Amino acid sequence: MSKNIDKSFLFSEEMEFLFESVFDKLPIAIDILDAEGNIRMINKTFLDYLGLEKDKVINKYVLDVDRNSRFPLVLKTGQNEIAYRHKFANGKEAIVHRIAIKDGDEVIGGFGMILFEDLNELRKLIEKNRLLETELEHYKKTLRKIHGAKYSWENIIGKSDAIVECKKKAMKMANMDSNILIYGESGVGKELFAHAIHNSSKRRDYPFVTVNCAAIPEQLMESELFGYEEGAFTGAQKGGKIGKFELANHGTIFLDEIGDMPYTMQAKLLRVLQEGEIERVGGKAPIKVDVRVISATNKDLSKLVKEGKFRSDLFYRINVLMLNVPPLRERKEDIPLLIDHFLSLLTQNSGIYKKVSKEVYDILEKYDWPGNIRELRNVIERMVVNSEGDIIRKTDIPLYILKKELPVRKKGSGLQEMLEEFEKEIIFETLKECNYNKSQAAEILKIPRSRLYRKLKKFGILEENNEVK
Ligand SMILES: Nc1ncnc2c1ncn2[C@@H]1O[C@H](COP(=O)(O)OP(=O)(O)OP(=O)(O)O)[C@@H](O)[C@H]1O
Ligand SMILES: [Mg+2]
């Protein structure tokens, strides 16, 4: 049932009291007219704008106060005029609303209001807004470049049935908008798939933000993911910090190594996925976010669920779609293609041009590649750097692949070089054995972890960010 305002209320003392006590103090110019066009109430802001005293206005016919007013027309027709440009008799230009107040069909009065007091100010505002929008667009683009996905389907090399099937499945998933869990052994290309999926999804023009759940210390995880407000804790940055989820808004967040997400964080992550909103650390109100989650793991999450290490409710939320990336040993026909691909990447990046002998292709194709494509890539890079001449031969293949117990003495190498080579082999093989877990490798080798890191950096196995290449 719609309620009507009746005339006796509109022009009652209560209404006048309300007008004076509330509306007089508003910084917006407003007035109320009766059906005949007499100004019955007007606030101080409006009077100041007109430059008139109240007694020169109140109960006067509107055209006697402002000869340009269109209110008589509005009161006659009952047609509201919203955001009209109006030039007052005093020469000032503004944007105004004129609204007919009705009791049923009968016009019983009028409500006037100035939306923008000064058209020049409005023009400036619009111009400023336009500049800000251009600037914003620029920053959005830059951000997209930084947080964009780097790889697409063409970067995923392979013609084996296994990888072709996997790509097809992933392409289908890209067109849906559900969360995806990518499962696969270390180095199979999970990250590559995550990039390519985002890049061909409807979210491709928005950010792709990666979070390595294993690399962020537990106590920093919440603020990394959800951000924090200024003063949330000691050492908090001025102005606060935006979290990865907010950064990824409308795009995709890639939660790499999700199996390493601390248990307490899992509950918080679950809430975000359920509610579609995040809460900054020290923040007062939740913030809506629209983010697709792609997670990746090389751990058996259902096993972790059974062991009570991973929340089952979170597992179901992230695992709406599941993509299994096959290990390299199950698609050996891709090995020659991948070798060529990595050689040509090296040529592009460093200008070094080398070929691989037939024998080398054969040996590398037979090997089982427990470290998958990452290991293959490493081996190619090391062979390219270490080999002499422009052909890579059998003697350039790392010994652990050739399954020799001891290094052969290479022509021209001194003892130091040979020892280093041997050390490299041992470290590399140990790393591979424990799935590139550096702490475990250090333990097996009985050396401190820091020493292992130093050696890995020296051998070029470890990158600056401490990731195994
Ligand atoms: N099909 C492929 N074609 C070309 N390069 C690939 C392919 N798959 C993987 N790579 C390359 O192999 C390396 C490892 O891939 P990626 O980092 O995606 O593996 P991952 O499954 O995420 O490994 P991890 O579990 O260790 O994080 C990268 O250098 C990537 O570019
Ligand atoms: Mg990865």
pLDDT in tens, 247-302: 999 999 999 999 999 999 999 999 999 999 999 988 888 999 999 999 999 999 99
Distance 256 CA to ligand 2 centre (A): 6
For ligand 1, say whether the CB of 432 is within 6 Å of any of its atoms.
no
Q: Which range of residues forms the domain containing residue 365? A: 330-458
Together in a domain, 357 and 429? yes
- The secondary element (H helix, E strand) that includes residue 90 is none
Together in a domain, 28 and 79? yes
Domain assignment present for 334: yes
Together in a domain, 205 and 321? yes
Q: Domain boundary at 84, 102, 120, which?
A: 120
How many structural domains is the chain composed of? 3
Half-sphere exposure at residue 79, Cβ-oriented, CA atoms within 13 angstroms: 5
Confidence at 90, pLDDT banded by 50, 70, 90? confident
Q: Whose CA is nearest to atom 12 of ligand 1?
A: 374
Domain assignment present for 133: no
Ligand with minimal distance to 193 CA: 1
Together in a domain, 196 and 289? yes
d(CA 129, CA 310): 48
d(CA 223, CA 247): 13
For ligand 1, say whether the CB of 190 is within 6 Å of any of its atoms.
yes
CATH code for position 30:
3.30.450.20
Average pLDDT, the chain: 88
Confidence at 408, pLDDT banded by 50, 70, 90? low
Domain assignment present for 198: yes
Domain assignment present for 137: no
- The secondary element (H helix, E strand) that includes residue 238 is none
Cβ neighbourhood burial of 103 (10 Å; 0-12, 13-18, 19+)? middle
CATH code for position 272:
3.40.50.300
Higher pLDDT, 358 or 425: 358
For ligand 1, say whether the CB of 188 is within 6 Å of any of its atoms.
yes
**In terms of DSSP bridges, do strands 287-288 and 252-256 run parallel, antiparallel, or are they unpaired?**
unpaired
Together in a domain, 380 and 418? yes
Q: What is the pLDDT of residue 158?
A: 95
Residue list, CB under 5 A from ion ligand 2: 191
Distance 118 CA to ligand 2 centre (A): 57
Would the pLDDT of 469 be above 70? no
Together in a domain, 291 and 335? no
Domain assignment present for 467: no
d(CA 226, CA 269): 9
Distance 383 CA to ligand 1 centre (A): 19
Ligand with minimal distance to 436 CA: 1
Q: Whose CA is nearest to atom 13 of ligand 1?
A: 374
Confidence at 144, pLDDT banded by 50, 70, 90? low
Q: Which of 157, 183, 191, 434 to mutate to test the pocket of ligand 1 (most atoms within 8 A of CB)?
A: 191
Together in a domain, 244 and 290? yes
Domain assignment present for 1: no
Q: Whose CA is nearest to atom 18 of ligand 1?
A: 189
Residue pair 356/365 in contact by the 8 Å Cβ criterion: no
For ligand 1, say whether the CB of 374 is within 6 Å of any of its atoms.
yes
Q: Whose CA is nearest to atom 15 of ligand 1?
A: 189
Together in a domain, 226 and 343? no
User: Residue written as tokens 């997209």?
Assistant: 144
Q: What is the pLDDT of residue 437?
A: 83
Ligand 1 atom closest to the Cα of residue 469 is 29
Would the pLDDT of 381 be above 80? yes
Q: Whose CA is nearest to atom 30 of ligand 1?
A: 189
The structure tokens listed for 350 are 């460093």
Together in a domain, 353 and 252? no
Domain assignment present for 290: yes
Together in a domain, 321 and 380? no
Let me know how many helices (H) and strands (E) the chain has, helices first: 20, 16
Distance 165 CA to ligand 2 centre (A): 20
Q: Whose CA is nearest to atom 16 of ligand 1?
A: 189
